[in-house]
Copies of this chain bind each other. A is one copy, B any other.
Amino acid sequence: MRIFEASTAPNPRRVRMFLAEKGIEMEYVQVDLLKGENISPQFREKNPIAKVPVLELDDGSYLSESMAICRYFEALQPEPALMGKTPQQQAVIEMWQRRCELYFMNAVGMCFQHSTGYFADRMKPVKEWGDECYTGAAKFMHLLNKHLANSTYIAGESFSVADITAFVTVDFARVIKLKMNEEYTHLRRWYDLINARPSARA
């Protein structure tokens, strides 16, 4: 198995953190996004959506979508559980993972792309939409800080994939100059807790 990825992009980092938490070794192959290697016909055969990361399985097939890759390894090697054990834990983790992804990570990503024109060779940046996404991401950060006043981790009292998504996004948010403000003491407490895990360096 090996993973095609881009080491500086947030989605591949989620998968690297997930695998580090599981203690799973992996071979990584870099794809140059700025040069457009991911939008080449060769890469589209691996993933028609043209995004990284992509996992190549030993049977020669390809798996894409970060959370699908994580779910594959969660099923292959359930311990330590990062997606919950009981039905309710699984659902609460999925709920928070999706909230952090849809309303925070994706908002930061769209703000970055639409505000900077980073991928203007392959998409049409809409500045006004980038601004809306910034507002959305900032609101979610506020909500997250409030939520973490009563919860050790994002989805309860255990570390989970929801923490990975939120942590990677807080770091990634620097590219749009969205920072944890000093009043966000709960978010800061949680950030330092996650940042102390060896997987944060993955």
Query: Are A90 and B65 in touch, CB under 8 angstroms?
Result: no
Residues of B contacting A34 with CB < 8 Å?
none
Q: What's the Cα separation between A90 and B64 when bound, in Å?
A: 13
Q: Which residues of B contact A87 (CB under 8 A)?
A: 72, 75-76
Chain B residues within an 8 Å CB radius of A99:
49, 65
Does A56 make an interface contact (CB < 8 A)? no
Number of interface residues of A (CB under 8 A): 32
- Residue among A67, A94, A132 having the largest count of chain B Cβ atoms under 10 Å: A94
| Partner of A94 from B71, B128, B147 at Cβ < 8 Å | B71
* 30 contacting pairs across A/B (C-beta < 8 A): A49-B99, A57-B88, A64-B95, A65-B94, A65-B95, A65-B98, A65-B99, A67-B94, A67-B98, A68-B91, A68-B92, A68-B95, A68-B98, A71-B90, A71-B94, A72-B87, A72-B88, A72-B90, A72-B91, A75-B86, A75-B87, A76-B87, A123-B132, A124-B128, A124-B132, A126-B128, A126-B129, A126-B132, A128-B128, A128-B129
